[in-house]
Structure 1
């Protein structure tokens, strides 16, 4: 699947290193140090109601991570999925009278446009679930052969073309725990009561009759009337939610990749389960670090598709807001905190963008170059380099963008010896071209 155009990335003189990043699994800061390339997987959208500010907050956080790695000299290999066939998408298509494929494609295109406008670095591998149907079915078959998957009779399923009785396939958590080093809850650190509650809230079916364990997740959904389905070695049907990410991540990045990212609402069950699937398939851990962004609220409640309280990037752009201001509004909050979007945040970001542009933009840089005696006569030698180093330190410490923004704010009225260097650093590290 086509991603979007890559923003211009400038280099900045000086040296940096790998960042320290919060790891959900250990609840601690760990060094996100790539062993070869920095390999990053971030769970993508289910393409309806794209792109809301919660989406943008997540992809901007991992854009910042990429910029820190790139600034430190690491090559980045970034993969992201698109869940372009799933129950919520099909339900929305039915409710709106659209073909599910048309709805998915229109929303993916809107997502591309928003990401490009915000200056988000695109994934190297942008993979739709419908592009890996065969690979997912093959993975389910491998789990079956290993004794880690089983079927549950499904009365409303449609028999396959060969007349075989269709059934849903489930992952056997207990068998996987007995045969791998993975244990349910490794990534989330949740107790059983919390797991059951979240599993039911987030697409699971703990009360499904015939399952061996209430938390066993769906691997392959047998074909139903009126729903899309594909013929496969495990029957006609389509992928379950968690297995799709396991298969795409292993295919594009391999095992033990650097960072698995996403919103905190994916910690359980999605990231716990996808890690279990991947380890059962490969014999290796999925990722070294599990990193999650906080939830964005609006009008007192978590922003979500189900509630419909969404602030869409496309609507903000259509209202005339500069995408750079939207980006600054998001960067003003730490990526892993929960916070609430308000119009005031965007107004403040518009002012900040204006002030920064006047102080460090192209006109200011050109003016300083043309009249060095006026613009830099009281600047300490190395003041700009020191500011850039402070920016690097802030971002390497768990992507502390609020601190980085504060440093730039404080530098507005400080004489600097190299405005061009500061301009390049703001563009490279914060993704804001002035």
Structure 2
């Protein structure tokens, strides 16, 4: 891996790669086609790009149960336990509304209600992750979303991944459709003959999926525009080079654009990790993907003090941040910007991906500076409620009218004052 001294003063913030005009134009055309032609557009794109001619877009109950029957019993138990952990964690995020009543009888309140429907996009092929089904669906269910839909591109055999279908079955989701890419996002946003439109779309995808989510935003809500996976590790001389290297590669294997960064005060560790990464790459099944990510977006930064490393980590604002130092827990308190923080030697990032219960849908491209992991909060609305008694109106109508006229809004002032005409009736 390439090395650089932090004292060089360069910015290490990750930026969002811009799509090219051709990709954007293609996505806009796909969305328009789906809006106009519905199911026929979905079926046409599935045949063209996924290489399979479907008779039906919706996954049948029989297909789901066949997948469950084929699934390894031990893996089913593991996936079920992981789902329980995710649900337990997210239950703590559920919020109640509140009501503040004043002496004059008026009150202001906030109601917290779930959105009506949500659609989860699940990538296909080698990126078909059952764990992402858990991470997207469970917060919606805990929030109280009434309708949760899954959509995913089929394989050449016309089926969805067994793991994805089993995960959906564990969670009680049976409204599942076969379609991928920008066309699937358009179907969720605007509906087709078979698919009723949803209120919010979540889930990862390729550049065309990301562009489509950006295009439909405003007509529906989205979770985030996710970029390639990222990991940063703060480590000192107490860390083990083979473990650090393994954790860096755990994210590098996701995507050739994935970022893997080590921040350390130890030159000895930096050199050892660099060698370990190359050694472990040789036997990694996804060597070509991880190798390109390490070569293009991997870096080891060596700083003189831990203060420098903390400042650099906060600037980078990574999706995943591991702290592998002698005082990892106390250092973690100084991290302001990270999608998720993993403290200590045994808290390897994949634990959060699969089993700890925290959500692995996280902000990328340094957007952890202002955004958060997917959660129950993403599937609810907060509605303000106002009740003004006659006494409250009498005490405040003149003040409100004056404020309205300050802004040149005579209609606002008259609306408040109009109640005076009917006073006592």
Q: TM-score range by the shorter chain?
A: under 0.3
Give TM-score, length-normalised by structure 1: 0.23
Give TM-score, length-normalised by structure 2: 0.23
Larger Rg: 2
